[in-house]
Amino acid sequence: MDFTQEDKKLMRRALSLAKRGWGTASPNPMVGAVIVKGDKIVGEGFHREAGLEHGEIQAIRNAGESNCKGATLYTNLEPCCHHGKTPPCVDSIIESGVKRVVYSLIDPNPRVSGRGVRFLKEGGVETKEGLLASEATELNEAYLKYVTTGLPFVTVKVAQTLDGRIATKTGDSRWISSEWSLRFSHRLRAGYDAVLVGSGTVARDNPQLTVRLAKGRNPLRIILSSKGELPPDSNQVKLASDGKTVVTTTGELLSNLAASAVKFWKVSDDGDGRVDWHQLLKFAGQRELTSILIEGGASVITSALKAKIVDKIIVVVAPLLLGWGVEAIGDLEIDSVKEALNLQRVKVRRSGPDLIYTAYPKYD
């Protein structure tokens, strides 16, 4: 379907507005809206948080009744048509007098999934689909997976040297990446519902796993520990009073942690005594976690890749060489190059002296 350069410019503005809901709109999608009359933008809006008005409603309110009549609305996702915490957007769009809606994607949510567009057409509103669809898909990749599978979108993030080490042979890893990349990591963390590490990382590095170098909310902190082990003097226990420290285990929580504010998720093991990834994701999805960021360590990352539950990989490569040290990824049981895990849609960007690679694994 043909779109003009002006159409694309206006949808990019809607996508830019939608990004303002990064880390706060979940479990809802990030949605931006722009209303145009003639050649002038008369109203804008975005969805900030579940329970608050949607982007289309905010744009209509900002535009005002007279400006909406005969106008065109640009939005990155099909307007909703169901009653949730807020009324259906399609009703307000029709009532406002907007005559044309240009959108990027059909919302795969079973409560919408084309019904929103049908209601708009029945209300006399012209619709046009597919504008900047790939950009809109990437923006809401976590929501799109969650709403169609009930499972969170899983990203692995690794900071490593040029020779693939995440720590020296003594275990020292602070700091491999640059200050620019550290800020990037915190912005990334702020956009995910949960961040996950293994108990070994907690014992060795004692991370806070909070957002400090960027604006945004702190995610839930999930500690993977098949034996329920967590150092009682760790930052994760100290920070547990905020209700965001979770130990996921296959057994009983140790008594010294049971008396703390640490939360406890018990899931089945994978047959080898470790937490079963697939059950953990199902457990997280049931709690409306749409996205999980795995930050380490190597054994956890390797296990996740072997379980084929990783949707996206982000690797920060610093211009350093360590020689012997801790490998970023362990044995994936690959014997030939033909068996290598194929990474697709690879993008590279600079972050100070570092390079940040983003890619999506393709499993057989």
> What amino acid positions are annotated as catalytic residues?
56
Q: For the chain, what is the total number of helices (H) and then of strands (E)?
A: 13, 16
| β pairing state of 72-77 and 291-296 | unpaired
Distances (CA, A) of 147 to 129, 143, 191, 337: 20, 6, 17, 35
* 70 C-beta neighbours (distance < 10 Å), count: 12
CA-to-CA distance for 296 and 200, rounded, in angstroms? 9
CA-to-CA distance for 100 and 36, rounded, in angstroms? 10
Are the CB atoms for 78 and 143 separated by under 8 Å? Answer: no
Across the chain, where does the E strand assignment appear?
Answer: 32-37, 40-46, 72-77, 100-105, 126-129, 153-161, 165-168, 194-198, 220-224, 245-249, 263-266, 291-296, 312-318, 325-327, 342-351, 354-362
CA-to-CA distance for 283 and 287, rounded, in angstroms? 7
Are the CB atoms for 71 and 97 separated by under 8 Å? Answer: yes
Are the CB atoms for 167 and 326 separated by under 8 Å? Answer: yes
